[in-house]
C-alpha cells in the first residue's frame, strides 16, 4: 500500500513483515526510530511470535543475535556509529560462524570528534568483517532490500548489513509502497537454519581452530561472499518478478551508456547526483552515474563493465581511509586495472555536511576541465585547517570551533 | 516543484509541520518529501525542517537551499541570521499577531497562528494553522488534506482541535485575500 511515512517507520514495519523471531537491539541515533517501532509492534502483538530483547549495549545486542540465530531463530538488529564499533568483536564472530543475521546500519559518522550526523564511516569500518553490505538510495529501496536481505542471508547462511543514510533517509517522510504480509510470506520462506543449537541433539559451534584449518575455515567466508555475487542479482530478479519493481542488485548505472565521465557513489546522494547528471546532459556533457548497491562482496566485474569505457571516473564517497584517501576509490581502481581510466576520489558529506547540487556542479566543472586531483575534499574550509596546523597547542576541535565563532562575529 | 523551509523553535512542532505538509500533499495525490535539519533538538533552540512538493518523484536529498516559501513559526526568529538565506523571492508565512512586521524581500503573509491554536486546541501549537495558511496562499495542498494529515497523526480531541484551528486559519486568510 502506498503511504507517506518516515523511513524508519517503513523499515520497522517491513522488518516485521519478514517475521523475525528475535530482535536484540540497543537504541542509538539515528537508528532509534527503527527499533522503537519494532519494539512497539512486538509489545502490541502485531509482530508475533517475536522476542524483543532490550539489551544493555551493542556488544550484547550482537551477542544476543548470535545466540538466537544459532538456536535457529530469524534474527534482526540495527545500529549506527559508535554502536557498530562497540559490537565489532561480535560482528566478526557472527560472520565467522556463518549466522544469517540481518542488521540495519543507519549510517552515521564515527568520532572523535563526536558527531551524530550522517556519513558512511561506521559501515565502512566493518567492510572487511565478512558481512554482506548493501547500500540503499531511497526509503523504497530500503524496504525492498530488507526483504531481499533476509532471503540472501538465509540462502547462503551469512550475515547481511543494510546500510541506509541516517537522518537523510531514516528521518525523511516520502512515498513508499509497503507490501502486504501475504506478498512477503510468499517471497520469504520460513527460516531453515543450516546449523541449530538444540538441547535434544547437542552439538557445539564456535570451535577453536589452529593453523591446521584456520585458513580454510576463513576462506569459506570469502567463498560464500563470492557466491553472493550470483545470489544478489538472482534475488533482486525474483523480487522484481514478485513485487513488480526493480531494486537491489549489485550496481545500477544511470545514463552511463556513452558517458565519458561517470560519478560513482553509494546511498541516498545518488538522487542529487542524478539531478546534476540530467542538468549536465542538457548542456551536452556526456556524464553518467553508477550506484554501488552492493559494496561487499565487491562486484568487480560489474563495476569494470559499467566503467570500463569511461575516460574518467569520479568516486564520491562519504568516508575515507586516514593515511591514504578514498575507500571505494581503491576498490574502483582495482576493478579498472589496466584499462587506463583515470579515477578521482572526492570525499564529501562527512559528519552531515550537506552535499548540494551547487557543490557537485562546481566539482564536476573542475573534473570535466581536467583540474581534479586524485584526492579532493568537497567544500573543504582550507583556511580553518591551515590555521589549526600552524597552532602549536590545544585541542583541535575546540580550537577550530572557536575560530569559526570568531569568523562569524 | 515547490520548496518550503520551516523555521521555528524546538517544541513548536516544526518538524511535525513539515512532515504533515508532505502527508497532505501525498493525500492530494502529489509527490512530497519532508525531513528535518538533523540537529540535537532542544526546547527553544532554533529548528529547521524542509518540504518539497511536486508532481514527479523527488530525487534530490540536499536541504532546501532556495525556498519558494518560508514558514516562520516564531516571530523572534525574523532577525536570526540565516533565516532568509537563499530566499530570493516568494512567500513568507509568519506566525505573528503584529501588523507592522517587514521582511527583506518576498510577499509577507502574517497569521496569529499561536493564538488561533490556543483558542481551538488549547495549546499554542502553530503547525496546523500555518499549514492551513500555506494551503490558502499557495494552493499547493488542499485544506481537506491538511485536516486529514492532522487527524491521521493526532487522534481524538487533539486531532479535532488542530483541524478546527486549521479551518479557522484558512477562513481568515481567505478573508484577507478577498479584502
Q: What ipTM goes with this model?
A: 0.96
Q: Which residues of B touch A275 (CB under 8 A)?
A: 59-60
Measured between alpha carbons, how far is A274 from A284 in angstroms, rounded to an integer? 15
The answer to whether residues A106 and A35 touch, using CB atoms and an 8 Å cutoff, is no
With a cut of 50, which residues of chain A have pLDDT below it?
A: none
Residue A26 confidence (pLDDT): 97
Q: What are the two backbone dihedrals, phi and then psi, of residue A283, each rounded to the nearest 5 degrees?
A: -90, 15
Q: Which of B147, B140, B139 is nearest to B168 (CA)?
A: B147
Residue A9 confidence (pLDDT): 98
Beta bridge partners of A3: A176
Inspect the interface and report whether the beta carbons of B38 and A356 lie closer than 8 Å.
no
* B40 vs A310, more confident: A310
- Find the range with the poorest average confidence among A264-268, B20-24, B44-48, B145-149: B44-48
**Residue A255, phi-psi category: left (phi > 0), alpha (psi -120 to 50), beta (remainder):** left
Inspect the interface and report whether the beta carbons of A173 and B34 lie closer than 8 Å.
yes
Q: Is B59 on the interface with A (CB under 8 A)?
A: yes
Rounded to the nearest 10 degrees, the angle between the axes of helix B113-121 and helix B127-138 is: 120
CA distance A175 to chain B (A): 7
Q: Which of B56, B23, B3, B7 is nearest to B145 (CA)?
A: B23
- Find the range with the poorest average confidence among A156-160, B14-18, B37-41, B172-176: B37-41
- Find the range with the poorest average confidence among A272-276, B1-5, B7-11: B7-11
B38: nearest CB among A117, A269, A356: A117
Report whether pLDDT(B41) > 80. Answer: no
Neighbours of B121 (CB within 10 A): 25
Q: Which residues contact A109 (CB under 8 A, 6 or more apart)?
A: A81, A115, A116, A117, A118, A119, A121, A122, A350, A351, A352
pLDDT by residue (tens digit) across B54-95?
Answer: 999 999 999 999 999 999 999 999 988 889 999 999 999 999
Rg (CA), chain A: 22
Residues 171-200 of A with CB under 8 A from B: 171-175
Q: Is A387 on the interface with B (CB under 8 A)?
A: no
Q: Which residues of A touch B65 (CB under 8 A)?
A: 356, 358
Q: Is A136 on the interface with B (CB under 8 A)?
A: no
Q: Which residues of A touch B56 (CB under 8 A)?
A: none
Angle at CA of residue A318, ends A317 and A320, nearest 5°: 80
Neighbours of A204 (CB within 10 A): 6
Residue B104 confidence (pLDDT): 87
Q: Which residues of A touch B26 (CB under 8 A)?
A: 3-4, 175
Q: Which residues of B touch A279 (CB under 8 A)?
A: none
Q: Is A268 on the interface with B (CB under 8 A)?
A: yes
The answer to whether residues B7 and B70 touch, using CB atoms and an 8 Å cutoff, is yes
The answer to whether residues A105 and A79 touch, using CB atoms and an 8 Å cutoff, is yes
In the block, cell 565519458 appears at A260
CA distance A339 to chain B (A): 32
Alpha carbon distances (Å) from B102 to A300, B3, B174: 59, 22, 21
Greatest Cα pair distance, chain B, in angstroms, is 43
Residue B2 confidence (pLDDT): 98
Handedness of CA A118, A121, A122, A124 (dihedral sign): positive
CA distance A408 to chain B (A): 10
- Cis peptide leading into A339, omega within 30 of 0? no
Residue B40 confidence (pLDDT): 62
Residue A408 confidence (pLDDT): 81
Looking at every residue in chain B, the average pLDDT score rounds to 94
- Secondary structure of chain A in HEC code, one letter for each residue: CEEEEEHHHHHHHHHHHCCCCEEEECCCCCCHHHHHHHHHHHHCCCCCCCEEEECCCHHHHHHHHHHHHHCCCCEEEEECHHHHHHCHHHHHHHHHCCCCCEEEEEECCCCCCCCCCCCCHHHHCCCCCCCEEEECCCHHHHHHHHHHHHHHHHHHCCCEEEEEECCCCCCCEEEEECCCHHHHHHHCCCCCCCCCCCCCCCCCCCCCCCCCCHHHHHHHHHHHHHHHHHHHHHHHHHHHHHHCCCCCCCEEEECCCCCCEEEEECCCHHHHHHHHHHHHHHCCCCEEEEEECEEECCCHHHHHHHHCCCCEEEEEECCCECCCECCHHHHHHHHCCCCCCEEEEEECCHHHCCCCHHHHHHHHHHHHCCCCCCEEECCCCHHHHHHHHCCCCCCHHHHHHHHHHHHHC
A173: nearest CB among B23, B27, B61: B23
Instruction: Delineate the domains of chain A, giving CATH numbers in brackets.
Output: 2-195+206-243 (3.40.50.970), 251-378 (3.40.50.920)
Helix (H) or strand (E) holding B168: helix B156-178
**Residue A351, phi-psi category: left (phi > 0), alpha (psi -120 to 50), beta (remainder):** left
CA distance A2 to chain B (A): 9
Residue B89 DSSP code: S
Inspect the interface and report whether the beta carbons of B32 and A118 lie closer than 8 Å.
no
Residue B44 confidence (pLDDT): 84
Inspect the interface and report whether the beta carbons of A356 and B40 lie closer than 8 Å.
no
Residue B129 confidence (pLDDT): 98
Measured between alpha carbons, how far is A29 from B41 in angstroms, rounded to an integer? 12
Q: Is B33 on the interface with A (CB under 8 A)?
A: yes
Report whether pLDDT(B38) > 80. Answer: no
B22: nearest CB among A4, A268, A352: A4
In the block, cell 523475525 appears at A20
Residue B43 confidence (pLDDT): 82
CA distance A317 to chain B (A): 15
Measured between alpha carbons, how far is B130 from B133 in angstroms, rounded to an integer? 5
Inspect the interface and report whether the beta carbons of B62 and A272 lie closer than 8 Å.
yes
Instruction: Delineate the domains of chain B, giving CATH numbers in brackets.
Output: 2-178 (3.40.920.10)
Measured between alpha carbons, how far is A103 from A97 in angstroms, rounded to an integer? 16
Q: Which of B28, B31, B32, B10 is nearest to B19 (CA)?
A: B32
B12 band by pLDDT with thresholds 50, 70 and 90: very high
A175: nearest CB among B19, B31, B36: B31
Amino acid at each position: 500500500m502506498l503511504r507517506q511515512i518516515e523511513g524508519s517507520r517503513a523499515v520497522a514495519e517491513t522488518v516485521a513483515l519478514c517475521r523475525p523471531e528475535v530482535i536484540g537491539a540497543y537504541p542509538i541515533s539515528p537508528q532509534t526510530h527503527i527499533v522503537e517501532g519494532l519494539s512497539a509492534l512486538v509489545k502490541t502483538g502485531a509482530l508475533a511470535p517475536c522476542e524483543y530483547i532490550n539489551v544493555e549495549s551493542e556488544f550484547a545486542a550482537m551477542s544476543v543475535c548470535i545466540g538466537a540465530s544459532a538456536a535457529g531463530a530469524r534474527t534482526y538488529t540495527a545500529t549506527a556509529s559508535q554502536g557498530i564499533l562497540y559490537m565489532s568483536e561480535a560482528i566478526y564472530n557472527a560472520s565467522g560462524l556463518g549466522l544469517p543475521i540481518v542488521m540495519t546500519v543507519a549510517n552515521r559518522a564515527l568520532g572523535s570528534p563526536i558527531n551524530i550526523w550522517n556519513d558512511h564511516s561506521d559501515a565502512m569500518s566493518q567492510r572487511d568483517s565478512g558481512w554482506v553490505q548493501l547500500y540503499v538510495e531511497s526509503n523504497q529501496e530500503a524496504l525492498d532490500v530488507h526483504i531481499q536481505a533476509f532471503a540472501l542471508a538465509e540462502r547462503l547462511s551469512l550475515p547481511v548489513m543494510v546500510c541506509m543514510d541516517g537522518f537523510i533517509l531514516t528521518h525523511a517522510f516520502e512515498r513508499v509502497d509497503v507490501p502486504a504480509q501475504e506478498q512477503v510470506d510468499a517471497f520469504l520462506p520460513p527460516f531453515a537454519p543450516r546449523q541449530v543449537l538444540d538441547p535434544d541433539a547437542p552439538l557445539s559451534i564456535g570451535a577453536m581452530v589452529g593453523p591446521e584449518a584456520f585458513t580454510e575455515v576463513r576462506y569459506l567466508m570469502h567463498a560464500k561472499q563470492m557466491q553472493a555475487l550470483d545470489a544478489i542479482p538472482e534475488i533482486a530478479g525474483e523480487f522484481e518478478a514478485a513485487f513488480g519493481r526493480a531494486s537491489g542488485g549489485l550496481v545500477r548505472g544511470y545514463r552511463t551508456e556513452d558517458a565519458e565521465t561517470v560519478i560513482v557513489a553509494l546511498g541516498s546522494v545518488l538522487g542529487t547526483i542524478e539531478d546534476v547528471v540530467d542538468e549536465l546532459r542538457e548542456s551536452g556533457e556526456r556524464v553518467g552515474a553508477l550506484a554501488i548497491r552492493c559494496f561487499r562482496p565487491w562486484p568487480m566485474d560489474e563495476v569494470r563493465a559499467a566503467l570500463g569505457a569511461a575516460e574518467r571516473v569520479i568516486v564520491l564517497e562519504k568516508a575515507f581511509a586516514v593515511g591514504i584517501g578514498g575507500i571505494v576509490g581503491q576498490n574502483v581502481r582495482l576493478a579498472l586495472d589496466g584499462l587506463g581510466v583515470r579515477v578521482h576520489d572526492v570525499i564529501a558529506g562527512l559528519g552531515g555536511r550537506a552535499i548540494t547540487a551547487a557543490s557537485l556542479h562546481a566539482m564536476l566543472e573542475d573534473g570535466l576541465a581536467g583540474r581534479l586531483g586524485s584526492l579532493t575534499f568537497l567544500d573543504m574550509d582550507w583556511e580553518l585547517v591551515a590555521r589549526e596546523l600552524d597552532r602549536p597547542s590545544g585541542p583541535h576541535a575546540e580550537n577550530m570551533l572557536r575560530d569559526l565563532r570568531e569568523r562569524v562575529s | 516543484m515547490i520548496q518550503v523551509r520551516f523555521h521555528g523553535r524546538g517544541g513548536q512542532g516544526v518538524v511535525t509541520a513539515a512532515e504533515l505538509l508532505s502527508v497532505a500533499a501525498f493525500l492530494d495525490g502529489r509527490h512530497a518529501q519532508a525531513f528535518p535539519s538533523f540537529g540535537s533538538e532542544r526546547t527553544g533552540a532554533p529548528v529547521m525542517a524542509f518540504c518539497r512538493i511536486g508532481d514527479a518523484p523527488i530525487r534530490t536529498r540536499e536541504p532546501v537551499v532556495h525556498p519558494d516559501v518560508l514558514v516562520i513559526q516564531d516571530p523572534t526568529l525574523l532577525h536570526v541570521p540565516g533565516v532568509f538565506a537563499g530566499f530570493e523571492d516568494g512567500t513568507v508565512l509568519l506566525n505573528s499577531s503584529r501588523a507592522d512586521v517587514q521582511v527583506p524581500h518576498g510577499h509577507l503573509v502574517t497569521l496569529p497562528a499561536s493564538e488561533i491554536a490556543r483558542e481551538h486546541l488549547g495549546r499554542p501549537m502553530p503547525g496546523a494553522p500555518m499549514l492551513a495558511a500555506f494551503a490558502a496562499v499557495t494552493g499547493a495542498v488542499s485544506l481537506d488534506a491538511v485536516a486529514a494529515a492532522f487527524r491521521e497523526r493526532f487522534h481524538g480531541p487533539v486531532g479535532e482541535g488542530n483541524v478546527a484551528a486549521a479551518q479557522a486559519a484558512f477562513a481568515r486568510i481567505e478573508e484577507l485575500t478577498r479584502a
